Amino acid sequence: MIMLPHTLPAQPVDTAAVQQPGFCWRARPLPRCRVFPITEVSYLVPLASSRTDPVPPYNYGDYRDVKPRMAMSIGAMRNESLTRAQGIVVTLGFDDDWIPAIEWRNRVWLGATRSSADFGVGYTQKNVFIRPPDAGATARNVMAHGVTATAALLPIDLLGVFARGDLLFTPGRSHYGLSVGAQAGSFGAAIVTGAAAAFIVIIIAAFLGAGGY
């Protein structure tokens, strides 16, 4: 039998295979995403903190530099390879001040899933209490400046465990804190933020209602 050459029909182009990764609202590794936002809400409890002890004759109380607090982080990251992403994140801590920290964040993807480990380092500042030099002086808060470092493990992009260490300085003294906690990200952060906002609205409405009597 003589085999005659013939033309094969044109094969369809796999557009998914050649499509370039772009922006994703939920964090994913390459090849699905190139750039993604960071939205996190966390609650941190200090394991260790510098403090100002109540020493007579001042008797101002026991002031820890780092207290239990909520924090909100926003930023953006870019996938640089199949296993690593990096970007910049700004964190706002809600305790006795609202002063932001800025950090360089690195993410290691744990396989091709949503699991990841984050590591960051950056600049932070915070108001800390300074005991006056003598009994007649006025107690005051001083702005401390320093560095912050973070580590997080996220089995999924919605929930994770989180740790933060801070080292800050004022003239003649250093201040430190080590905190651990849980964080919600992506849609989880939106749910937590919405619930907190609804709670605040309810409290305000109850306060205004009570004031109307």
Tell whether the model's pLDDT for residue 23 goes beyond 50. yes
pLDDT digits (tens, 9 = 90+) for 42-68: 899 999 998 876 555 555 556 788 888
Q: Are 140 and 121 in contact (CB under 8 A)?
A: no
Coil vs helix vs strand at 118:
strand
Q: Looking at per-residue confidence, does 157 or 61 come out higher?
A: 157
Q: For residue 173, what pLDDT is reported?
A: 86
Q: Decide if pLDDT at 119 tops 70.
A: yes
Higher pLDDT, 31 or 198: 31
φ/ψ region of 124 (left if φ > 0, alpha if ψ in -120 to 50, else beta) reads beta
Which residue did the predictor score with more confidence, 153 or 114?
Answer: 153
pLDDT at 132 over 90: no
User: Would you say 19 and 29 are in contact if contact means Cβ atoms under 8 Å apart?
Assistant: no
Contact 82, 29 (CB under 8 A): yes
Region of poorest pLDDT, from 66-75, 160-169, 180-189, 201-210: 201-210
The Cα 7–Cα 132 span in angstroms is 91
Query: With 90 as the cut, is the pLDDT of residue 1 above it?
Result: no
**Residue 166 pLDDT > 70, yes or no?**
yes
pTM for the complete prediction?
0.72
CATH class, domain 19-211, is: mainly beta
**Which of 10-14, 32-36, 44-48, 154-158 shows the lowest mean pLDDT across its residues?**
10-14
